[in-house]
Amino acid sequence: MTVPTPPWRTARKRAKTQLSQDVIVETGLRILVTDGSEALSMRRVAQALDTGPASLYAHVSNKEELLELIFDRVLGEIHLPEPDPAQWQRQLRGYAMEALRILAQYGDVARIAVANVPTGPNALRVGEWMMGLLVGAGMSPREASFAVDRLALYITADAFEGSQHFARMRAAGVTDPGAYMEEFATRIADYYRTLPADRFPHLTGYVEEMTAGDGDARFEFGLDLLITGMEARLR
């Protein structure tokens, strides 16, 4: 049975979390998902771990390295099948869809990759897989490297755009993302309808078409364009 500690005794302090790079990265990832990458700092991570910022530098050199480690941690969740060049279109599509889904789960984590070249072990694993798949399918190494770069940019840019919408929803206390996005599209459509038709005949004449389709449909359309373009280069 638990009894109160006598007031004249010094209460034992709770043991601090055993620091490691993995613990720091997981803590930083939680902060990033909750409050965004701009709110993430070494001091904030240290506070969450009940320690001082200086103790983190034995495991992570600075915020930039922490962000790279966080992004690589997320990439580690992407499943990569054994490359089958005969099925490269299907495998590349599957990778892109899964990568977008995983990045979308972690707030604006995609922001980290927009202005950087990820070089962590999981980023290298993904790059090696994609290069092997495309070169094995017959694409020249130069064109395969360009394709890998453009596809990675397409995925991260789409994920980042989605994270900005969700950040606005969170700030506004939105509880129904579907309704929010529908209202957003309606607002854009209503604005297009106010444009002078003589100057903008296509924007005003095709309002419904231009605001149709959700984010998934638009992502898949762009993905089809990229893969079809790669097929054309191979032919």
| 13-48 per-position pLDDT tens digit | 444 568 999 999 999 999 999 888 889 999 999 999
Looking at residue 90, what is its pLDDT?
97
Residues 83/91, Cβ–Cβ less than 8 Å: yes
Residue type, 81: P
As given in the structure block, the two tokens for residue 124 are 């290298």
The model carries a pTM of 0.84
Q: What is the pLDDT of residue 130?
A: 97
Residue 15's pLDDT is 41
Are 50 and 85 within 8 A, CB to CB? no
Q: What pLDDT does residue 13 have?
A: 47
Angstrom CA distances, 63 to 83, 179, 190, stand at: 35, 36, 43
Structural domains of the chain, with CATH: 21-61 (1.10.10.60), 80-234 (1.10.357.10)
Distance CA 23, CA 82 (A): 31
Split at pLDDT 50, 70, 90, the class of 10 is low
Q: pLDDT over 90 for what percent of the chain?
A: 71
Cβ-contact 133, 91 below 8 angstroms: yes
